[in-house]
Structure 1
Amino acid sequence: MIPKTLRSTGITTKSIYSKGWIRSKSAVAVSTPPNTLYTTTPIFYVNANPHLGHLYSMLLCDTRNRWEKLNPRAKTFFTTGTDEHGLKIQTVAEKQNISPKDLTDKVSQNFKVLATDLDIDYDRFIRTTDQDHVKAVQFFWELMQEKGYLYEGSHSGWYSVSDETFYPETQIEPIEGNPGKMRSKETKSEVVYQQESNYFFKLSAFQDRLIEYLETNPDFIIPKTKYTQLLNELKEGPIGDLSVSRPSSRLTWGIPVPNDPSQRIYVWFDALINYITSCGFPNSFIRDKETGLFKSGNAWPATHVIGKDIIRFHCIYWPIFLMAAGIELPEKVVVHSHWLSDGFKMSKSLGNVVDPQATAAYYGQDSLRFFLMEYSNIESDCNYREDQFHFTRETIIGKFANLITRCGGSAFNIEKSVEYAKSGKYEQIDELIGKYSIKTDIEEVKLARDKLEMTANSLYSTMNSHIVQFDQSKAIGEWWSLVERANELFQTAQPWLYTKALKDVDLNAEDREALLTLQLYYTYLAAESSRIACILINPIMPKLSTMLLDRLNVDPTRRNADFAAIGSDLSYGHGANEKTHKIPIVRIPMRETNL
């Protein structure tokens, strides 16, 4: 029996069973519930080794996905992967005298290794050579054919082998110093004039509809500058129809056009469909018989994170493909800028390419993750500087890790400080501060305490307002404010003075208990600040924060947003002050590099 999801699509020109739309047991299983935050990186083209830009896309998604998971009731789905068809792959494979599939099997692993090395916690790594994707693309093609959006014709124009796309006259420019040579204005890739026969998609039929959608949904593309730029481009003039196949005589490494072996499906038409393949297309999309529209019973729609050089494909082609199919458009498209090295575009000739895996191997994955997110700016190009990175790592050690090391020292007792909070012994703390403070300005201590509590208790909400907009940099800035205020209070209140005073054997019981309560109170606030800071920086630095939470002996089930406020967890601290703990992150000299 044909499943309802497939019966309702109206695809009747071919036998569903003969085309293999029903997945075998060996196919990739997908289970993505609705009302899910679905984030995607671009699928990366496997013609070169992974670089810092690939990692940046991964990290923007990974930190957003992990942040959502801090809400224990949230559902998330996160995909990344590789784009493996096209003329570039075919050409490289020919030069290496191996098959394109052998090449992509080998090179795609480099991106998986990058994800592993930098602790990218994806749910699916999709490859465009996956069988469920190949079938989804051919299904989508036949759907477009059935709806009348495909036609045959001849095409001539300026083609970029590097970008795998034709560019209109308005999108190209001469290459300075190379008479007769042209390049793309956007990507700076060389283009050559070509003419061929292939299939076209009626892109122009949807231009007005896309403009209307963008004007109605101004938050569809972020940041605003990219939204305005794309909308203005759409309004400048007709976009024309899109060539969506290539002759098999020129391109052999691509998905065959159904019923026409003389053509291969255009690599971008193929690649963009990965986003719905990953959440079960076509099986998990139900098509309404009357309207022809698809209803998703899965994680779709997605939030796409892309580089600024592929905005046209994701913000013009892809929405129009979905409109034509009757599938809901993505939730939003986040367009990020690129990373420079010491202010210059990275290139082998300049010798300023930053290898993300070598860098992480030297400094640690969490340090690199933190730096790239702290200096993240999706709107303008970011700048990698080795000295700045090293300074950031030193600051993490000196301000954040050291806070836990200090209150976790042998002079203090975090477990007992938490027990005192649980038993209500801090309820009259202001009275004790006024009567028993040692060598400190009482009002200064109270002010530092009040600022700390206010920051700690509002931090999740404050950081969340930035991270949902993919502004990790501002979120980290807010996080630093908690760490700094916790250090400020510890330095102002000087709890070590109470430890020293408690050694006085002549203290009476009342004074001893008062001094001990104050010492434990300041220890408690430092520990609480550390605990909350660890929970909320976990999406950025998962390994280090987990090690520090382990040191505090925080229950794994209490490491989420429900416990990101002072007093929300009163069950931790056992063994936190034992001398056996190892330093979680150590200082190292700045790497010798040519950068």
Structure 2
Amino acid sequence: MSFLNSIRRYGLPKALHNHASKITFSTTTLRSKSLYVTTPIFYVNASPHLGHLYSMLLSDTRVRWEKLNPKNRAFLLTGTDEHGLKIQEVAAKQGIECQELVDLVSQNFKVLAEKMNIKYDRFIRTTDGDHIAAVKYFWEIMESKNLIYQGSHSGWYSISDETFYPENQIESITDASTGREKKISKETKNEVKYQEETNYFFRLSKFQGDLIQFLENNPNFIKPQNKYNELLKELKESKLTDLSVSRPSSRLNWGIEVPNDPSQKIYVWFDALMNYLTAAGFPCEFELQNGLYNTPEKNLWPATHVIGKDIIRFHCIYWPIFLMAAGIELPKQVIVHSHWLSDGFKMSKSLGNVVDPMSTNLYYGQDALRFFLMENSNIETDCNYSEKNFFHTRENLIGKYANLITRCGGASFNIREAVDNYYQGKFNDINQLLKTHLLNQEELEAILDVKSELVQDLNGLYESMNGKFSSFDQMKAIQDWWSVNEKANLLFQLGQPWIYKKAINNESSEEKKHAYEIIRSFYVFMAAETGRIASILIYPVMPELSTRFLDRLAVDAAKRNSDYCTIGSDPTYGTNANSKLHKVPIERVPMRGD
């Protein structure tokens, strides 16, 4: 009896049922359609590197940003890809079982997520029972539609990429180490070798026209635009061939067995891509009607996939076609990010320029590293890691962001009093007070201009950053964030609230004394409000440091969301914010290597 018929007759396997209940619990409590963001599942044949962290971080900040709005819900999926020939070969060399190897190595990615504060909702492994059951179910859907057939196959196979490449995706190069010519994939630059074998094929070519039409009707499906254009051009100019979706068990024994054919194992990408559906509760949480798997309103699906540019073919050709063929809604979007260079060069062990995210985090701290990677990257072009630039970024965080909060939080000021003054309307006529009682009148025009711009920018900051974060443009969102910090620091510096203490003590006129007190308090309020709002809005990027600042300002935990990101939206904070007992939230360290 087939796997599919077995499910129809006897119900879902225990592995699917068990996890289905968890998914049902997490999705049925959603008040509206959730944002479902996925990283690639990372192949466990090597240690985590900066590229893995970048995929995780792009996804994590996007999900955290979504959750800043209390009306929104978001789900983050990450995990590990644990089947395939590379795992089999490494395990054989180490003299251990494949399962033992992946159990050990997959933990490295969990540790990276933990150390870098990546808050995933599920860490999926392709060796998970519910995933294996879902893959087999998916296979039999394809088989029942006559979309899988058996045949002989020859072509250029890459062990590193676990895939066959067509002739037009192959190029010849001279190996620098041996001087010999070798064949590589144009896309991934990994070596390929010619192989012949008998396996199963999926009728990929049948859906080429459908995919082209879908892409033309959905120009935002792939971001950035240049990747969309490249892929659509390739599809229009090159004919897709049917895809090999299994390997002989004699060659590959570490994989999911093809239903009813123990001589074949399911191709690793056919297996791996399914993880996104497994985590959404497929097939339990989908409604099968007239051969289509409809997505219930409260289901996680469809996903927004975040991937590196080296795996675009799998996610933007194979995966959409698999879903079309099965009658499942396609993903919402595929975000294709570029890679990281180190001081302008591709990272490599031979050059000694590989950036270890774990050691960098240990020395400089997770928030500084998270911030640098988001501030200095965009998805369209390769990004450059520089120790010098990273150190400079960290120093800016201390000198501008941290400094603003520690300045207005000094023992000679009173943030709580400043907040009360705002709510009592004492700043309503602040422009007039500045014009008549400002001690440094030569700065009046500059102070009024900066104050006006800061008020406007702060009140629009969430909406401005929201549009950019929603488009995975973290760099420009952070530029907006820096702008208000710099203007608040400038206002504080121009206003010099510290000079009013002596004037208040020496002034005999109660009217002037009161005016000086209000002006001084106003500068403190604007600095504190900027720090409060900026800390809420940078939380998705720097969760630990921003939390320390919000704790320092005594901002209630329930008021750290987008509802409280305009001036005067929180009347309750500031108690003991100026106490001398507060510790420095982030300390300076010398640049590594100095």
TM bracket (short chain): over 0.9
Contact 2:437 2:515 in 1 (8 A): yes
Q: Give the corresponding residue for 2:294.
A: 294
**Partner letter of residue 16 of structure 2?**
R
Deviations 1:267-322 (A, max 9, x none): 0000000001011011001111x353433451100000000000000000000000
Q: Give the corresponding residue for 1:396.
A: 397
CA-CA distance at 1:175 after TM superposition: 2.0
Deviations 1:236-270 (A, max 9, x none): 12111000000001101000111110000000000
**Partner letter of residue 245 of structure 1?**
S
Contact 1:214 1:231 in 2 (8 A): yes
Q: Give the corresponding residue for 2:419.
A: 418
Q: Give the corresponding residue for 2:484.
A: 482
Deviations 1:312-359 (A, max 9, x none): 000000000000111100000000000000111111111100000100
Moved over 6 A (4+): none
1:39 to 14, 23, 37: 37
Contact 2:341 2:383 in 1 (8 A): yes
Alignment CA distance shift 1:12-1:510 (3 Å): same
Alpha-carbon distance in structure 2 between the residues aligned to 1:132 and 1:153: 29
Deviates more, 1:14-23 or 1:307-316: 14-23
CA-CA distance at 1:513 after TM superposition: 1.5
Q: Give the corresponding residue for 2:13.
A: 20
Q: Give the corresponding residue for 2:529.
A: 528
State the SS of the aligned residue for 2:295.
Answer: strand
State the SS of the aligned residue for 2:5.
Answer: coil
Deviates more, 1:73-82 or 1:13-22: 13-22
State the SS of the aligned residue for 2:524.
Answer: helix
CA-CA distance at 1:430 after TM superposition: 1.7
Q: Give the corresponding residue for 2:456.
A: 454
Alignment CA distance shift 1:481-1:26 (3 Å): closer
Alignment CA distance shift 1:584-1:16 (3 Å): farther
CA-CA distance at 1:17 after TM superposition: 3.0
2:58 to 52, 56, 60: 60
Alpha-carbon distance in structure 1 between the residues aligned to 2:10 and 2:291: 25
Identity score, percent: 60
State the SS of the aligned residue for 1:98.
Answer: coil
Contact 2:295 2:301 in 1 (8 A): no
Q: Give the corresponding residue for 1:171.
A: 169
Deviates more, 1:389-398 or 1:489-498: 489-498
1:445 to 447, 453, 459: 447
Alignment CA distance shift 1:427-1:131 (3 Å): same
State the SS of the aligned residue for 1:310.
Answer: helix
Alpha-carbon distance in structure 2 between the residues aligned to 1:175 and 1:198: 29
Contact 1:462 1:475 in 2 (8 A): yes
Contact 2:294 2:328 in 1 (8 A): yes
State the SS of the aligned residue for 1:442.
Answer: helix
CA-CA distance at 1:377 after TM superposition: 1.4
Alignment CA distance shift 1:26-1:462 (3 Å): closer
Deviates more, 1:524-533 or 1:437-446: 437-446
CA-CA distance at 1:502 after TM superposition: 1.7
Alpha-carbon distance in structure 2 between the residues aligned to 1:570 and 1:236: 62
The answer on 1:126 being equivalent to 2:132 is no
Aligned residues: 582
1:153 to 131, 151, 154: 151
The answer on 1:102 being equivalent to 2:103 is no
Deviates more, 1:224-233 or 1:15-24: 15-24
CA-CA distance at 1:551 after TM superposition: 0.2
CA-CA distance at 1:570 after TM superposition: 1.2
State the SS of the aligned residue for 2:189.
Answer: coil
User: TM-score under structure 1 normalisation?
Assistant: 0.96
Q: Give the corresponding residue for 1:493.
A: 495
Alpha-carbon distance in structure 1 between the residues aligned to 2:450 and 2:8: 73
State the SS of the aligned residue for 1:503.
Answer: helix
Alignment CA distance shift 1:138-1:356 (3 Å): same
Q: Give the corresponding residue for 2:91.
A: 93
CA-CA distance at 1:16 after TM superposition: 4.8
Alpha-carbon distance in structure 1 between the residues aligned to 2:340 and 2:540: 21
State the SS of the aligned residue for 2:109.
Answer: helix
Q: Give the corresponding residue for 1:4.
A: none
CA-CA distance at 1:28 after TM superposition: 7.7
1:174-189 mapped onto 2 (5 Å cutoff): 174-177=172-175, 178-189=179-190
Alpha-carbon distance in structure 2 between the residues aligned to 1:450 and 1:493: 14
Q: Mark the runs of 5 or more structure 2 residues left unpaired by the alignment.
A: none
Alpha-carbon distance in structure 2 between the residues aligned to 1:14 and 1:369: 45
Q: Give the corresponding residue for 1:7.
A: none
Alpha-carbon distance in structure 2 between the residues aligned to 1:295 and 1:382: 37
The answer on 1:196 being equivalent to 2:197 is yes
Q: Give the corresponding residue for 2:546.
A: 545
CA-CA distance at 1:14 after TM superposition: 6.0
CA-CA distance at 1:95 after TM superposition: 0.4
**Partner letter of residue 22 of structure 2?**
A
Q: Give the corresponding residue for 2:470.
A: 468
Contact 2:16 2:134 in 1 (8 A): no
CA-CA distance at 1:115 after TM superposition: 0.3
Alpha-carbon distance in structure 2 between the residues aligned to 1:498 and 1:107: 61
1:555-574 mapped onto 2 (5 Å cutoff): 555-574=556-575
CA-CA distance at 1:423 after TM superposition: 1.1
Contact 2:19 2:130 in 1 (8 A): no
The answer on 1:247 being equivalent to 2:248 is yes
Aligned-CA RMSD value? 1.5
The answer on 1:263 being equivalent to 2:264 is yes
CA-CA distance at 1:503 after TM superposition: 2.2
Q: Mark the runs of 5 or more structure 1 residues left unpaired by the alignment.
A: 1-9
Contact 1:201 1:241 in 2 (8 A): yes
Contact 2:20 2:285 in 1 (8 A): no
CA-CA distance at 1:484 after TM superposition: 0.3
1:209-220 mapped onto 2 (5 Å cutoff): 209-220=210-221
**Partner letter of residue 20 of structure 1?**
P
